[in-house]
Structure 1
Amino acid sequence: MASNGGEAVRGERAVGVRDDRVLPLTRWVARAIVPFLAAAFVVLYGVPARTTEFFAWTIRPEMTPIVMGAGYGAGVYFFSRVSTADEWHTVAPVFLGITTFTWFMAVATVLHWANFNHRHYTFVLWVVLYAVTPLLVPAVWVLNGRTQSGERAADEAVLPPPVRVVGGVLGLVITLSAVALFVAPGPMIESWPWAVSPLTARVLAGWFALFGVVNGVVVLDPRWSGARVLVQSQLLGFALVLVGVVRYWENFDPSNPLTWAVVGGMALYLALVAVLYLAMERR
């Protein structure tokens, strides 16, 4: 009890002071979200061929639930880190990406309401999650943002300017592409390396938007400490997706040039981010 009381006192002080503390509300929201994401990860990544039985709607083929599951797995790691973080700036940028993602999911749910299995309990969980989080996540970001400080120690590692420029441009391009594909998923349906429906195309566009926004936002703060948790989450997420590619290579059309562009691009990005992570950690 003393520990919780102390956390509450520190949180109350943090609301009015830019001391970069993570508020108790932020920690509890993160802890509440983790079980939802963990359950989605287990179903979508663990048994992607059985979404009819265990998920809110039937998803075919397996690569789409693999990508979704990998994203939720990375989300479990991220929100677990939020629940124990001491400094708000180390996790703050990702909240904007997650906000964008939840908006995409909420709109996709409304647009494709008929595609869902309304009698399955996971449908209820899905609706609750994406009815609440589009408001809750940005609210937490705004409230906890009042504690954020841009101060950094003189010896603190910073991201190299070229990395920030490339990351920002990449983030902007992917975000704009994700918005375009969400609005008009037809080109993605016709050319994507594996089969997607209007609903799954829009869901994947939501994941692209999350990736784009966090990459664009995180580079606004030069501190490596502000990017570390995001990079760790991305390393996990992309590694899980690439393992899924190996598991379900039969979903892909090898004659489609986009197959090699998408898979090769993910592998290259994972390798470059791993190199960046190791280099920054040695500073």
Structure 2
Amino acid sequence: MPEQLTLTRDDHVLRYTRALSLCIVPFLVAGFVILYFFPEHTKHLWAWPLRPSMTSMVLASAYLGGAYFFLRAALERRWHVLSPGLLSVTTFATLLGVATVLHWNKFSHGNPAFWIWSALYFAAPFLVLGAWLANRRYAAPPDDLLPVAARAAITALGVLAVLQGAAMYLAPATFLPLWPWMLTPLSCRTLAAVSCLGGAGLGFWRDARWSTLNRMLEVEIVMVGAILVAALRGHDQLDGSKPLAWPMLIGFSALFLVSVLVRFRQTRLARR
């Protein structure tokens, strides 16, 4: 039995995980295109009208990062690289599914986009979590871990992201007067779900391999980079006098720059 267990725990990615990833990508790409390039038309093209366009573009940025993650997942050979991301996607999808029920009357029920939205966020948490549960049986023991300081820093960022997301989700009214652009309780809970994607950092404490961090950084660079471009596009919607305006802009800019620098440095060291 021990020998058989050693043979099966080879860190491979199941076909189901690859197939599910490929099925998810087109929906994420479509969502990104609609929300990022046509944010003024969400009344007709989306599950509910998103105003202003900054909220639309931030959600689109999360979809772009997700599309990149799942496209790479469909081609990935190492399970440990995907594990933290799949758990954070499960959380993201669950929160949006619950928000749909809480704000049912805010959605455009006659719009086909709403039917797709509902089908995705009521089914995705179970499908993605199922992939994680099925594939984790083949996870290989972690090796070549990064230093404790790096593990602690990344885990701390994950904790902060989840705490912020939880606060926004549970008490959206508290954040409405603080946010740099206009929010509703539904859009606040949507952005809370986006924040909880950062919870992927929580799993890094147990499996702190560079290959895992590298994928997390790639997705983060894509997503945060798109958010920063969205801030430039929608600068007229941002109110610099709001308490969270400058902390958010500085925080996202610093996160993007640090992620790029860390990935560049570690990639050079790995090549050497």
Q: Please, what TM-score do these two structures have when normalized by structure 1?
A: 0.90
Deviation at 1:78, TM superposition (A): 0.4
Residue identity opposite 1:253 in structure 2? D
Q: How many residues are treated as equivalent by the alignment?
A: 265
Conserved? CA contact 2:57–2:227, under 8 Å: yes
1:193 to 155, 175, 180: 180
Q: Which residue does 1:100 correspond to in 2?
A: 91
- Equivalent position SS for 1:31: helix
Residue identity opposite 1:21 in structure 2? H
Dislocated runs of 4+, deviation >4 Å: none
Residue identity opposite 2:177 in structure 1? E
The answer to whether the aligner puts 1:52 opposite 2:43 as a matched pair is yes
- Equivalent position SS for 1:191: coil
Name structure 1 gaps, 5 residues minimum. 1-12
Distance across 1 between alignment mates of 2:193 and 2:91: 8
Aligned pairs for 1:124-135 within 5 A: 124-135=115-126
The answer to whether the aligner puts 1:67 opposite 2:58 as a matched pair is yes
Aligned pairs for 1:156-171 within 5 A: 158-171=145-158
Conserved? CA contact 2:178–2:243, under 8 Å: no
Q: Which residue does 2:259 correspond to in 1?
A: 273
Q: Which residue does 2:221 correspond to in 1?
A: 235
The answer to whether the aligner puts 1:249 opposite 2:221 as a matched pair is no
Deviation at 1:151, TM superposition (A): 4.3
Cα offsets for 1:118-164 (capped at 9, x unmatched): 11111000000001111111110010001110243xxx5x4332221
Deviation at 1:50, TM superposition (A): 1.3
Q: Which residue does 2:79 correspond to in 1?
A: 88
Aligned pairs for 1:108-119 within 5 A: 108-119=99-110
Cα offsets for 1:79-135 (capped at 9, x unmatched): 000000011011111011011111100110000010000111110000000011111
Residue identity opposite 2:159 in structure 1? L
Q: Calculate percent identity across the aligned residue pairs.
A: 34
Cα offsets for 1:45-77 (capped at 9, x unmatched): 111121112111000001001100011011111
Residue identity opposite 1:128 in structure 2? A
Distance across 2 between alignment mates of 1:279 and 1:160: 15
Residue identity opposite 1:227 in structure 2? L
Conserved? CA contact 2:179–2:243, under 8 Å: no
- Equivalent position SS for 2:116: helix
1:172 to 134, 138, 159: 159
Q: Which residue does 1:41 correspond to in 2?
A: 32
Distance across 1 between alignment mates of 2:27 and 2:208: 32
Distance across 2 between alignment mates of 1:277 and 1:29: 28
Q: Which residue does 1:23 correspond to in 2?
A: 14
Q: Which residue does 2:194 correspond to in 1?
A: 207
Deviation at 1:32, TM superposition (A): 0.5
Conserved? CA contact 2:142–2:207, under 8 Å: no
Q: Which residue does 1:4 correspond to in 2?
A: none
- Equivalent position SS for 2:250: helix
Distance across 1 between alignment mates of 2:260 and 2:62: 18
Deviation at 1:167, TM superposition (A): 1.4
Distance across 2 between alignment mates of 1:236 and 1:151: 26
RMSD: 1.5
Aligned pairs for 1:136-175 within 5 A: 136-152=127-143, 158-175=145-162
Cα offsets for 1:206-257 (capped at 9, x unmatched): 111111x112212421210112112101101000000010001011002224
Distance across 1 between alignment mates of 2:243 and 2:196: 23
